[in-house]
């Protein structure tokens, strides 16, 4: 119905992209985005590295692969139309050890199956032509991989929503979700709003908000903090484009890499350490509630049993700049702890199943007229506009 009210919980880039998509798709529908913070894009979107991924890494045919390829095209067009930053600076995925060459070859096959544009293999000498200061013995070159400003895009999405007659309601932490005759009541303390349909895009809190809506408990969100170093300004010239390692297929994380930003800085990172709070952007931030939730969940212990060695290594890098930069120096030889300063950090909402499996693909649950986005991992920002199309299809499947 064109006069419906659609509620969306979460004003990150996915929630805002969805609000915009619904407003465009169904004129006359009132969209209300509810956000606990006083501004949009404060958490995962606001701590994003700014990379527009081309689709190299993802399992062909998966939702993640399909939505990423579609999302890149939509995002590029949107940024060009709105005058937002979008720079195709290219990416090198570099092998620095002989044993990585087989994984790199598998990655090339996967990327070609995902129709990554203009991807090619490059030799050691060709790496130096593209990146004179880089290491590596072979690489994949993705010239169309880009960088952008995701918080700026999210703010633009919010303007699209309000410009279409919708609302972005800030300072509205959701404390209750109740299905009532004719709608869904969403409470924030003593305040409330009744909507016809509700979509939960709560990111770091997606499992707790979903439980308010009587969705099943799994997957749970395990927060991983990703910490960055910044190349000192007089060393930033050493990196032209994005420099990435060949990823370990056992993990959803891509490893420490070099990332030029649209503001001219160059980040090194992130690592991936278990955060002690869902919004634990600092090492000292601890939430006993979040820790008790982690300890009570069987999947946490099963994950720890599988990956504790990697966890120890990541924490070592968190505490020591020298350890952090040890592997990074393989990709830009000579760059070490003396060349960087501590940068910012982000927290990734990593979904975890009860058996200890790190959930890799997007996961969306339907509970009556409530749609719960339970896992929207990287590259959710890249794919946000395509994810919005996909979720809107699910929301209105019975319309």
Q: Give pLDDT tens digits for 201-250.
A: 999 999 999 999 999 999 999 999 999 999 999 999 999 999 999 987 66
- Axis crossing angle, helix 13-25 with helix 384-395, rounded to the nearest 10: 60
pLDDT for 113:
95
Q: Cα separation of 22 and 299, whole Å?
A: 35
Q: Who wins on pLDDT, 318 or 71?
A: 71
Contact 322, 336 (CB under 8 A): yes
Provide the pairing of β-strand 242-245 with 91-95.
Answer: parallel
9-20 burial string, b = 16+ CB within 10 Å, else e? Answer: bbbbbbbbbbbb
Q: Give pLDDT tens digits for 236-291.
A: 999 999 999 998 766 656 678 999 999 999 999 898 889 999 999 998 899 999 99
Q: Cα separation of 338 and 344, whole Å?
A: 18
What pTM does this model have?
Answer: 0.95
Q: Cα separation of 343 and 327, whole Å?
A: 17
Q: Cα separation of 360 and 362, whole Å?
A: 7
Q: Cα separation of 11 and 17, whole Å?
A: 9
Mean pLDDT of 88-96: 97
User: CA dihedral defined by 111, 314, 266, 258, rounded to 10 degrees?
Assistant: -30
> Which two tokens mark 365?
């649950």
Q: Please, where are the H alpha helices in the chain?
A: 13-25, 63-82, 101-113, 124-130, 150-163, 206-212, 288-296, 298-319, 321-328, 384-395
Q: Give pLDDT tens digits for 32-75.
A: 999 999 999 999 999 999 999 999 998 899 999 999 999 999 99
Q: Give pLDDT tens digits for 115-165.
A: 999 999 999 999 999 999 999 999 999 999 999 999 999 999 999 999 999
């Amino acid at each position: 119905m064109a006069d419906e009210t659609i509620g969306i919980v979460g004003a990150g880039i996915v929630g805002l992209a969805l609000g915009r998509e619904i407003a465009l798709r169904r004129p006359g529908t009132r969209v209300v985005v509810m956000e606990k913070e006083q501004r949009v894009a404060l958490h995962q979107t606001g701590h994003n590295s700014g990379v527009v991924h081309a689709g190299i890494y993802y399992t062909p045919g998966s939702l993640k692969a399909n939505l990423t390829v579609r999302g890149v095209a939509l995002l590029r067009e949107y940024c060009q139309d709105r005058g937002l930053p979008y720079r195709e600076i290219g990416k090198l995925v570099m092998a620095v050890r002989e044993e990585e060459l087989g994984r790199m070859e598998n990655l090339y096959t996967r990327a070609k199956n995902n129709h990554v544009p203009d991807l090619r293999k490059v030799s050691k000498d060709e790496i130096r032509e593209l990146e004179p200061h880089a290491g590596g013995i072979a690489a994949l070159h993705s010239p169309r991989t880009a960088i952008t400003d995701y918080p700026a895009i999210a703010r633009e999405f919010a303007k699209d929503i309000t410009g279409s007659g919708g609302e972005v309601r800030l300072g509205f932490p959701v404390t209750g979700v109740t299905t009532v005759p004719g709608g869904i009541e969403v409470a924030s303390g003593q305040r409330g709003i009744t909507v016809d349909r509700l979509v939960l895009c709560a990111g770091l809190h997606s499992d707790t908000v979903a439980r308010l809506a009587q969705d099943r408990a799994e997957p749970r969100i395990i927060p991983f903090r990703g910490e960055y170093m910044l190349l000192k300004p007089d060393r930033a010239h050493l990196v032209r484009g994005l420099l990435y390692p060949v990823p370990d297929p056992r993990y959803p994380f891509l490893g420490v890499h070099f990332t030029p930003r649209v503001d001219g800085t160059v980040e090194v990172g992130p690592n991936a350490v278990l955060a002690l709070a869902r919004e634990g952007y600092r090492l000292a931030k601890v939430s006993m509630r979040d820790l008790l939730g982690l300890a009570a969940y069987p999947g946490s212990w099963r994950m720890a049993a599988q990956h504790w060695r990697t966890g120890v290594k990541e924490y070592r890098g968190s505490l020591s700049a020298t350890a952090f930069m040890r592997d990074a120096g393989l990709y830009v030889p000579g760059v070490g702890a003396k060349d960087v300063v501590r940068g910012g950090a982000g927290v990734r909402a990593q979904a975890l199943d009860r058996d200890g499996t790190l959930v890799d693909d997007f996961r969306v649950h339907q509970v009556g007229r409530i749609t719960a986005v339970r896992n929207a991992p990287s590259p959710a920002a890249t794919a946000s506009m395509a994810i919005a199309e996909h979720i809107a299809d699910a929301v209105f499947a019975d319309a």
